[in-house]
Structure 1
Amino acid sequence: MLNAVRLRIDLAYDGTGFYGWAKQPEIRTVQGEIERVLHTILRVPEGDPTEPLRLTVAGRTDTGVHASHQVCHLDVNEDVLKRCVGHMDVPPVIALTRRLQRMLPADIAIRGIAPAPDGFDARFSALERTYVYRIADRSSEVDPRTRNFVLHIDDELDLKSMNEAAAMTIGLHDFGSFATPNPGGTTIREVKTAYWRRVPQRTLIDDGMTMGERYRTPTVESGLVCFVIVADAFARNMVRSLVNGCVQVGIGKRSLDWFAGKMAAPLREGSTGPIAPQGLTLEHIEYPADDQLAVRAEAIRAKRTL
């Protein structure tokens, strides 16, 4: 693309009303909504081969999965980008940011847009992704306001055994028991951190004053059970399937030996399918220093082996 500029777009979304990230015909997706608005703002007909306005994302999320911090990039001709300025006396990137923020639906938020550094690729330059899965178990107070991003279960979870299971996932493994490979890809991934914690009960307002219990407002996540996992990348359904495996251990339905066997023999079967999507949120994407972006992108494109 001649005279093209690459833009980094940081965003968040409530995945409840979306059939995942990836654009699909006649189905509402995050990518589809953003690209539709981009075509309107930049006055480019959809299907124009000279200006596709195609987003490349750091990590595709599934139906019903949320993102508090997602990253994608867009390649666009500089002259086309200038079309969004209109009457605004601001640079094109700022104009694009403001128009997207105003025109996108309420379940998508643009955090920021900036020219990408040389060598930046939202997907292949990423060092790691962080996901969090939130559960309200029997020991948690269920808040109906959180139903779109917290899974409610009736059982009491044994976090000690769940953490023993989670510890088995750390390192370079073939997660074939818990994930589906893309065509031509693998389910080999490197998990850097994985653990379960219960969020401490705490107050939102605590200034040391003794104002009485009626003024003590609990934080919305107090008491929830959270699974935090960080990896260089994730295969399809990997996080939700690992969560399901850990939960089965945590409620006593499966043993740690069973989980260890699934890690040792990467074969998919019914008991390691994904848990419900609403508890899962993509929380963070980490990138290297600017001078390492292209090197990282080139290295990650290689097919992995153990």
Structure 2
Amino acid sequence: MTDSIRLRLDVSYDGADFSGWAAQPARRTVAGVLTEALGRLVGAETPLGLTVAGRTDAGVHATGQVCHIELPAERYAELEGSLLRRLAALMPPDARVRAVTVVPATFDARFSATFRRYEYRVSDDPWGPEPLRRHDTLGWLRPLDLDRLNAAAAGLVGEHDFAAFCKRKEHATTIRAITRLDWRRDPDRICVATVQADAFCQAMVRSLVGAMLTVGDGRRQPDWPARLLTMRERSSEVTVAPAHGLTLVAVGYPEETEYAVRAEATRRLRA
């Protein structure tokens, strides 16, 4: 059996022109362009075992995405000093590999992760987002109250069944542990939600944002999102916020010696 090297790739992308992360036939995806670039370097027939921390939806951005691949040790030795530069030349302008790191075989970009952190940007200025930020900032027509947004957020922190905010998948749990959820208003007046959890189910972050925005603009009471946590099915009252305001900004991992333990614990939890 050929020896292989496991590599961690730190990836950023503007999701506007991608149909999400996961490879899909006849669609432009982040995994697709990354696999194509790597294939040109190591041979399209080389199995990469590409595994990502979080499969972002169409239109969602990332500044802190993480994935891992396997390369034959001999081929990696040839590319070691130039892999990052070569990928920069082969990748499209809206997707970048920012770092390449050799990691132990026990590292799993998905299952070893301890948290994923997202930010969602909203402009409530009457003129809307600045043109240069139109791809990553939602324009909201009603003024937003930061205190009301944070009051709504506080009721959602902790381990809950977020079925009301998720697109349910068969045999998958909707129980998640949110460790951080808060809003700030930056100097440019943009309202930014930060949400961090061990993992998220499909559409969960954008559903949470959509619910909180109706509190922030006064249409719902601050305790309304938390009251939905008693539901066991997706709520038809929750509007999913548009994808383009959302960015995956960080993925956390334990110490190197804990990679395998964390991965095994996560697999048991998800099952």
Per the shorter chain, which TM-score range?
over 0.9
The 3-state SS of whatever aligns with 1:28 is coil
Structure 2 counterpart of 1:98, one-letter code? R
Counterpart CA distance in 2 for 1:132 and 1:226 is 6
Map of 1:33 onto structure 2: 33
The CA deviation at 1:141 is 6.7
Larger Rg computed on CA atoms: 1
Contact 1:55 1:73 in 2 (8 A): yes
Alignment pair present for 1:260 and 2:246: no
User: What residue number does 2:179 align with?
Assistant: 192
Do 1:178 and 1:242's aligned partners in 2 also have CA atoms closer than 8 Å? yes
Kept after mapping to 2: 8 A contact 1:140/1:224: no
The equivalent residue for 1:146 is 133
Q: Equivalences for 1:175-214 in 2 at 5 Å?
A: 175-199=162-186, 201=187
Instruction: Compute the TM-score of the two structures, normalised by the length of structure 2.
Output: 0.94
Structure 2 SS opposite 1:177? helix
CA distance in 2, matches of 1:42, 1:138: 49
With 173-182 and 281-290 compared, the bigger mean Cα shift is at: 173-182
Aligned-pair CA distance for 1:139: 6.7
Letter in 1 for 2:66: V
Aligned to 2:101: 114
Task: Report the Cα offset of residue 140 of structure 1.
Answer: 8.0
Alpha-carbon distance, 1:36 to partner:
1.0
Shift in Å, 1:184 = 2.3
Are residues 1:236 and 2:213 paired? no
Q: Which position in structure 1 is the counterpart of 2:91?
A: 104
Match of 1:287 in 2: 253
- Distance, in Å, in 2 between the alignment partners of 1:134 and 1:25 is 31
In the other structure, the counterpart of 1:7 is 7
Deviations 1:126-167 (A, max 9, x none): 111110000000378731110000001111012212211111
RMSD of aligned residue pairs (Cα, Å): 1.8
Please, which runs of 5 or more residues in structure 1 have no aligned partner? 46-50, 86-91, 202-221
Alpha-carbon displacement from aligned partner over 1:218-254 (angstroms, at most 9, x marks no partner): xxxx110000011111111110000000001112222
Deviations 1:14-52 (A, max 9, x none): 00110000000110000011001111111233xxxxx32
TM-score, with structure 1 as normaliser: 0.84
Output the CA distance in 2 between the equivalents of 1:142 and 1:97. Answer: 34
Q: Residues 24 and 142 from structure 1, CA distance in 2 versus in 1: closer, same or farther, beyond 3 angstroms?
A: closer
Shift of 1:5: 1.2
Could you tell me which residue of structure 2 aligns to residue 275 of structure 1? 241
Q: Which residue is equivalent to 1:79?
A: 74
Q: Which amino acid is the alignment partner of residue 63 of structure 1?
A: A
For these two proteins, the number of residue pairs brought into alignment is 271
Q: Percent identity?
A: 41
**Partner residue, 1:58:** 53
Match of 1:158 among 124, 140, 145: 145
Aligned to 1:129: 116
Q: What is the rounded CA distance, in whole Å, between the counterparts of 2:235 and 2:156 in structure 1?
A: 18
Distance (Å, rounded) in 2 between the aligned partners of 1:119 and 1:275: 36
Find the aligned partners of 1:129 and 1:140 in 2 and give their Cα distance: 32
Residue pair 1:139, 1:223 contacting (<8 A) in 2 also = no
Residue pair 2:210, 2:239 contacting (<8 A) in 1 also? yes
Matches of 1:150 and 1:165, distance apart in 2: 21
Which residue of the partner structure matches residue 191 of structure 2? 225
Q: Deviations over 1:173-220 (max 9, x none)?
A: 111000124442111110001011111x3xxxxxxxxxxxxxxxxxxx
Among residues 247, 250, 261, which one is paired with 2:216 in the alignment? 250
User: d(CA) in 2 for partners of 1:250 and 1:236?
Assistant: 23
SS in structure 2 at match of 1:8: strand
Question: 1:247-285: CA deviations, max 9, x gaps?
Answer: 011122222343232122232132224210111000011
Are the counterparts in 1 of residues 210 and 240 from structure 2 also a CA contact under 8 Å?
yes
5+ residue gaps, structure 2: none
Alpha-carbon contact 1:72-1:122 (below 8 Å) kept: yes
Specify the alignment match of 1:168 in structure 2: 155
Call closer, same or farther: CA 1:228–1:139 in 2, change over 3 Å: farther
Is contact 2:152–2:223 with CA below 8 Å preserved after alignment?
no
